[in-house]
Amino acid sequence: MRTLMVTPTYQEAEGITAFVERFEANREGFDLLVVDDGSPDGTGAIVTELAGTRPWLHLLSRTAKDGLGSAYRAGFVWGLERDYDLIGQMDADGQHPPEALWALVSALDDQRADVVIGSRYVAGGDTGDWPAYRRGMSWVAGTATRRATGLRQRDLSGGYKLWRSSALRAIDVASTTAQGYGFQIETTMRAHRAGLRIVEEPIRFGVRTAGTSKLSGDVVWEGARLLVELRRDPWSPGGPSA
């Protein structure tokens, strides 16, 4: 099956080459699409140069920073238009291990799933070197999200996922609205409403190798607001917005 991983970037010039090389060492047939939001540090130019000798590496350049959710939507649509069978998502900062790519595929096939989440919080998963306060904050956020949405998955904010293309079409991913990290919750919520099978595969969360985190107060606020909106969201498979 043709498989594509989508990776949004903004200001990742310092670490993008190492990420591509690590991905290359573990790709075994995966293609990679970098969606760059006009990084002033030249991230897109570096990817263009790397792609010159790597036909499996692609760049989707956008003119300005427009949010994580928007970048993923653009990347998913790009992949769907090119008839990839499986389309995944991962970060370029080293925290999502490329070494786990085929474990995600195996989980998708073995459990006959529609989407698999690379999870830090199921048996065998790990948050790496996170300090206790960050683990605690993540636990509180996860508990609140599950209570607000009724979802059972342990790692609802996780951004390391693999989707069947049919699942992305079923949730009408292009019509999602979340711009920040809430995109992860919104898409999983739609998958649940569409009756899709969602499973979790344990991963060990890595350490950011370069650059700076994009998590900000605005992103956290957007995620909290999204939880309220999701409870009122009228979307349903085959509904007016689908």
First CA to last CA across the chain, in angstroms?
26
Distance from C-alpha of 32 to C-alpha of 96, rounded to nearest angstrom: 14
Distance from C-alpha of 84 to C-alpha of 147, rounded to nearest angstrom: 34
Mean pLDDT of 190-194: 95
pLDDT (tens digit per residue) in 95-118:
999 999 999 999 999 999 999 999
Please give the model's pTM, rounded to 2 decimal places.
Answer: 0.89
Can you read off the two tokens belonging to residue 237? 């498979």
* pLDDT value of position 157: 87
pLDDT (tens digit per residue) in 126-175:
887 778 887 788 778 888 888 888 898 999 988 999 999 999 999 999 99
* pLDDT value of position 222: 62
- Class (C level, CATH) for 3-232: alpha beta
Q: Which residue type is seen at 44?
A: G
Q: Indicate the domain borders of the chain.
A: 3-232
- Give the C-alpha distances (Å, rounded to integers) separating 207 from 112, 114, 199: 31, 28, 24
